Amino acid sequence: MTSSDKKCNNCGGSSFVQAMDFVNLRPMDKKMTLGTEKIYTVCLDCGEVVSIKVKNPEKLMK
């Protein structure tokens, strides 16, 4: 699915941006690991977060 095919479920908008959070996601039992960044896809029309994914899922493996 290309970004031109996406539609926001909240408002029907089709303009999106990808953004990252400063707090990494890490396994609960590995407090000292750096973890991995979260990538958010956000609707530019209403601000709805339409997806969240992790940049490097292998960093969450035990």
**Tens of pLDDT along 4-32?**
578 999 999 999 999 998 888 888 887 77
Give the per-residue pLDDT at 26. Answer: 87
**9 found inside a domain:** no
**Has residue 22 been placed in a domain?**
yes
Q: Is residue 62, in this structure, part of any structural domain at all?
A: no
State if pTM tops 0.85: no
CA 4 from chain centre, in angstroms, equals 18
* Residue 30 forms part of a structural domain: yes
Structural domain contains residue 25 = yes
Between the alpha carbon of residue 19 and those of residues 10, 46, 52, 60, 62, the distances in Å are 19, 15, 10, 20, 27
Q: How many domains does the chain have?
A: 1
- Could you tell me the residue range of the domain that residue 32 belongs to? 16-57
